[in-house]
Amino acid sequence: MNRSALLPTRVLTPQGFEADRCVLVENGVIAAVIAATACPPEVQRRELEGDLLPGFIDLQVNGGGGVLFNDEPTLEGVAAIGQAHRSYGTTGYLPTLISDDLSVLEEAIAAVDAAIEGGLPGVLGIHLEGPFLNPERKGIHDPSKFRILDEAAIELLSSLKRGKTLVTLAPELAPPGAIRALVGRGVIVFAGHTAGAYEDACAGLDEGTRGFTHLFNAMTPLGSRAPGVVGAALDAPDAWCGLIVDGHHVHPAALRLALAAKGAERLALVSDAMPTVGSARKEFTLGGRRIVARDGRCTAADGTLAGSDLDMAQAVRNAVTMMGVSLETAVRMASAVPSAVLGLGRVTGAIAPGLQADLALMDATGSVLETWIAGRPSR
């Protein structure tokens, strides 16, 4: 049996931060969280300076380490992206494909399937953001790639053999029954890049839509007589919402309004990261368009936001300052909530007995010093 003990300054458990605790790890699983004085003397011990947190789970990772998943929908591409984000506390992630040809979707799904089969650390599944989106809310997506969700597409979107599949689509353009068909095949459906009305979003929810991709962005806004997709998201008590908390995608006041309406337990921090994260390379090409990262923003020449230059550790720090939440709450929005979105709450997302030892050590400045995935340290 492989046993070890971690003794950090503090550990974040579901009950909150606790000091003088020992986290016992056995064969990659958290065996117990006990008093430091009760730590078995025969177990290999490590004293850690800092806060031991559940590792972050990122539902929307377009790229990192200089790699864009659309350009490298391969096992190597998935590995490079995960390695880059692990430095910032991400121990679980969904490589995310921006709208592309169906042949590229097929390659990306095969790459993620191979990654999970081969035990690549941290890969939890895939996020297919499009191409079943509304050109009226295209954002940086290439509308020439958009298409209608037909039976062949449903077959492809539900073809991942291992892990979780999250699909972002425009519910108003989905044929009747298509969302229900995807959900019936185990796909998690989110609404996004949608020009639909409040009623369209509600109809999608009735068919099984579980949440909303990057709330406020690329969707119809909240109005007094037309609540829009934002209104539907805020009005649906059980719907999840992803949030890009980078100070560019959403105003802090809007973030706080979402928090007041939904509660932190329904808000998941996402990075929406591009290749610039974890890389000295601060520009890249997306669909033939030059994208530049400057002052934390990734934009095309016309100013259109193109994903983000955000990592999850920064998203957690930003949530504390911009949303006014505690560090405990911000971390749970980056770990327990996305774990619940994926239905993995009994597997990962918290530091509790029986869960996988996916952990991140953060110092007083909010920087990540080390991570563990299934108990294996990054250094």
Section 338-365 average pLDDT:
98
Alpha helix (H) ranges present in 99-197?
102-117, 151-157, 178-184
Model confidence at 33, pLDDT cuts 50, 70, 90, reads very high
Section 188-205 average pLDDT:
98
Token pair 């059980």: residue: 238
Q: Above 90 in pLDDT, residue 162?
A: yes
* CA–CA distance, 64 with 331 (Å, rounded to integer): 21
Structural domain boundaries in the chain:
3-53+352-377, 56-341
Q: Above 70 in pLDDT, residue 255?
A: yes
pLDDT confidence of residue 113: 98
Model confidence at 144, pLDDT cuts 50, 70, 90, reads very high
Architecture of domain 3-53+352-377: Roll (2.30)
Section 190-196 average pLDDT:
98
Q: Above 80 in pLDDT, residue 305?
A: yes
Instruction: Give the other-Cβ count within 10 Å of 31's Cβ.
Output: 18
Q: Among this protein's residues, is 272 annotated catalytic?
A: yes
pLDDT confidence of residue 1: 67
Model confidence at 217, pLDDT cuts 50, 70, 90, reads very high
pLDDT confidence of residue 77: 98
The secondary element (H helix, E strand) that includes residue 236 is: none
Q: Above 80 in pLDDT, residue 379?
A: no
- List all residues 6 or more positions away from 369 whose beta carbon is below 8 Å from its beta carbon: 50, 361, 362, 363
Q: For residue 153, which amino acid is it?
A: A
pLDDT confidence of residue 342: 98
* CA–CA distance, 105 with 350 (Å, rounded to integer): 31
- List all residues 6 or more positions away from 194 whose beta carbon is below 8 Å from its beta carbon: 133, 134, 137, 169, 170, 171, 172, 200, 201, 218, 219, 220, 229
Model confidence at 41, pLDDT cuts 50, 70, 90, reads confident
* CA–CA distance, 127 with 187 (Å, rounded to integer): 10
Token pair 């890249």: residue: 284
Q: Which of 51, 113, 246, 272 is catalytic?
A: 272
Mean pLDDT (the chain) is: 97
- List all residues 6 or more positions away from 352 whose beta carbon is below 8 Å from its beta carbon: 13, 14, 30, 33
Q: What percent of the chain has pLDDT over 70?
A: 100
What fold, for 56-341? TIM Barrel (3.20.20)
Contact between 232 and 198 under an 8 Å Cβ cutoff? The reply is yes
Q: What percent of the chain has pLDDT over 90?
A: 97
Contact between 179 and 200 under an 8 Å Cβ cutoff? The reply is no
The count of residues in the chain is: 379
